[in-house]
Every structure is written in structure tokens, then in C-alpha cells.
Amino acid sequence: MINNDMHVIVQEQLAIDLNCSADDFDKDGFVFCEAKENPGRRPFPRGERHFEMLTMGNAVIISTTPDLLPYVRDQLEGKCRDEAFNMPFVYGVGICFLPDKPQALSMPDGFDFKLLNRSSILKLYDNCKKEDFPYALSYDMNHPRPDVLASTAELNGKIVGIAGVSKDCELLWQIGINVLPDYRQSGIATVLTSMLALEVLKQGKVPYYATAPSNIASQRVAISAGLKPAWTCVYRGWFDGDLTLPTS
């Protein structure tokens, strides 16, 4: 799978999620959409007042429940993209990465690395505490975005790092990673992430990696693993109280 193929797949999936057209991502300015429960959308939870905002570099796509659309339109009128992502109602910004030039990496000395399929993940649930690896695994085999792959790093028989892959939808699979504090900055996070990115691609799916703009260490892991920034998203907002717009 080459970069153009992944780009098309991602745009088509995000269009389902946001209830827009895949062509909208290449437009200029803002595109406003009414959020809908489209078949095939990634099953992230949505509240009564749902708000998403996303850009892949050109258009800013805004998808909200109907009651929020007039308010958000009014607030963003005359604004630019950067101003939109710094509005007071914005909460929860993420940067998502896609493979650029993933490749097998040299493994740090002393660690034992393993690639696990879904049937082996149950053992991780039993043997590893959720509080130690909350971003790597869901610890729920019936989760709407189930864990389907994992990679582990062991030192002297102890698991010190786990990366997991959740099947967010049919073609877009997300990588999450946790490394115990005493073993960070050792290079194992990069190896674990790279292992999974390559395996997901091997299975004909698109791996992606999401992190916060403030998490520089996590971004460095993604880049070192051969991934590059692909889109920025806002997955929730502050919308409390009465949002009735003033009448002229």
C-alpha cells in the first residue's frame, strides 16, 4: 500500500465519520456538516451535543449536532484555520500520524520483543495491569473497537512495554503505546510502534497513531517509527448552557 492509497482510504473514512464528502478536505475555508450516525463510522462515543473539527491541511471540516451548527458558524465567521483551533469552546485536540517510510528497526540490547495476534492478547489482560498500559489495550474483548494485534517488550521476563492495535473500522486501525516509566527513552516504544505499523500494512489495513500536541515524546516516537503527521482533529468541545444566538 502506497501513501496515495492510504490518503484516499483515510479521507473516505473521515468523510463517513464527519458526514461530509471526501472532496471537501481539499477545499479552502470552512465546511459545516450535520453529524449523523452513518453506517461504518468509527464507533467513538458521542454526547448529546456532539462537536468535531478536523483539517488535513486545507479545509476545516466542522461536524456538529444540529443545535450547535448556528452557534459554531457564527463564532467562526471571519476566522482563519489557526484561530478556529484556538476558540474558547475547543477541547481535546489530537494529531494523527500515518506511515511515511516505515521499516524494521534495530532492537535495543537486552529486550525481548514479541508480536501477538488477537488470541494471545487475552493473556496480556490477565498478566498486565490496566493502569500500567491504559493506552495500549482496551482490556475488553467485546469493545466496539477491539484489540486485534499487540507487540510487547520484555526484560528478564517482565513486560515493560506494550503497543496495541484497535480495529477502529474495517480499514483504519489505531496504534496505542505504553512503556513503564523506568524504561522510557530506551527506544523500545519506537520499535513496538514500528512493528505494529508494518504488520497492519502487511494485513492490507491502514495504521494510524494519535497523540496530543503537547505530548512531544509521543510525537517523537511516531516520527522515529516512520510515521508523519496527517491530520489534526478536535473531538469534543465546551458547550454548556443556552447557546441561543442574539437576534438582530
pLDDT digits (tens, 9 = 90+) for 53-80: 999 999 999 999 999 999 999 999 999 9
pLDDT value for 201: 96
Q: What are phi and psi of 109, to 5 degrees?
A: -65, 140
Q: How confident is the model at residue 128 (pLDDT cuts 50, 70, 90)?
A: very high
The more confident residue out of 101 and 113 is: 113
DSSP string over 120-182: HHHHHHHHS-TTTSTTT--S-TT-SS-EEEEEEEEETTEEEEEEEEEE-SSSEEEEEEEE-GG
Percent of the residues in the chain that have a pLDDT greater than 90, as a whole number: 86
| Beta strand 227-237 pairing with 90-99 | antiparallel
Hey, which CATH number is domain 112-225, 3.80.10.10, 2.50.20.10, 3.30.1340.30, 3.40.630.30?
3.40.630.30
| Whole-model pTM over 0.85 | yes
**In this predicted model, what pLDDT tens digit does every residue of 153-182 receive, in sequence order?**
999 999 999 999 999 999 999 999 999 999
In the chain, domain spans? 3-96+233-237, 112-225
Q: Distances in Å between the alpha carbon of 92 and those of 17, 115, 136, 194, 195?
A: 17, 31, 19, 26, 28
Task: Name the one residue in this structure whose C-alpha cell is 454526547.
Answer: 47
- Tell whether the model's pLDDT for residue 248 goes beyond 70: no
Task: Name the one residue in this structure whose C-alpha cell is 464528502.
Answer: 21
